[in-house]
């Protein structure tokens, strides 16, 4: 059985997908922000996770969390995010990434909404994977 992991920006979704064959980073920026984009995004993730023990990495957009929380699934769902105490370190980490439009949006989001975003995930119904140290091992989230 596969699994779905919603990952906060900067946890290493792309790195994981490049390292492991059974991991797919389902990049949300490929989905135009139309009214039902999250529906299509989540349904594709569910379909892929049910195929051959795939681990699907998703964004933590509010719409994605809301839609996924309404689904009844036989697939485990996790949310992976940094501890609130890592805020300044995490923002610095995001600032040190390659300067792309996607990364600029991640920095802006973290600067303006980190606390609220993390608290939302802390109180979600999903299984939690909390990063408590900046020296974390990405492969740990695949267990």
The tokens for 73 are 């699934």
Each residue's pLDDT tens digit, 93-138: 999 999 999 899 999 999 999 999 999 999 999 999 999 999 988 7
pTM of the model: 0.92
Q: What's the average model confidence in pLDDT over 2-11?
A: 94
Identify the pLDDT of residue 56: 95
- Domain tally, the chain: 1
* CA pair distance 46, 41, nearest whole angstrom: 9
Q: Is the per-residue pLDDT at 50 higher than 70? A: yes
* CA pair distance 115, 109, nearest whole angstrom: 10
Q: Which residue range is the domain that position 52 belongs to?
A: 3-142
Each residue's pLDDT tens digit, 32-48: 889 899 999 999 999 99
Q: Is the per-residue pLDDT at 140 higher than 80? A: no
What is the SS3 assignment for 23-38?
EEECCHHHCCCCCCHH
Each residue's pLDDT tens digit, 51-79: 878 999 999 999 999 999 988 778 999 99
Domain containing residue 116: CATH number: 3.40.50.300
Q: How many helices (H) and strands (E) does the chain have?
A: 5, 5
Identify the pLDDT of residue 143: 67
Of the pLDDT bands very low, low, confident and very high (cuts 50, 70, 90), residue 1 is: confident
């Amino acid at each position: 059985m596969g699994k779905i992991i919603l990952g906060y920006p900067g946890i290493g979704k792309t790195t994981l997908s490049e390292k492991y064959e059974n991991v797919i980073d389902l990049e949300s920026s490929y989905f135009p922000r139309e009214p039902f984009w999250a529906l299509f995004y989540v349904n594709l993730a569910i379909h892929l996770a049910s195929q051959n023990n795939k681990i699907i990495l998703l964004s933590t957009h509010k719409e994605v969390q809301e839609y996924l929380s309404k689904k009844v699934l036989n697939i485990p769902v996790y949310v992976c995010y940094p501890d609130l105490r890592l805020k300044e370190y995490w923002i610095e980490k995001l600032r040190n990434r390659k300067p792309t439009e996607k990364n600029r949006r991640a920095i802006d989001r973290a600067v303006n909404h980190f606390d609220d975003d993390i608290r939302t995930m802390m109180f979600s119904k999903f299984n939690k994977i909390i990063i408590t140290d900046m020296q974390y091992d990405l492969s740990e989230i695949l267990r």
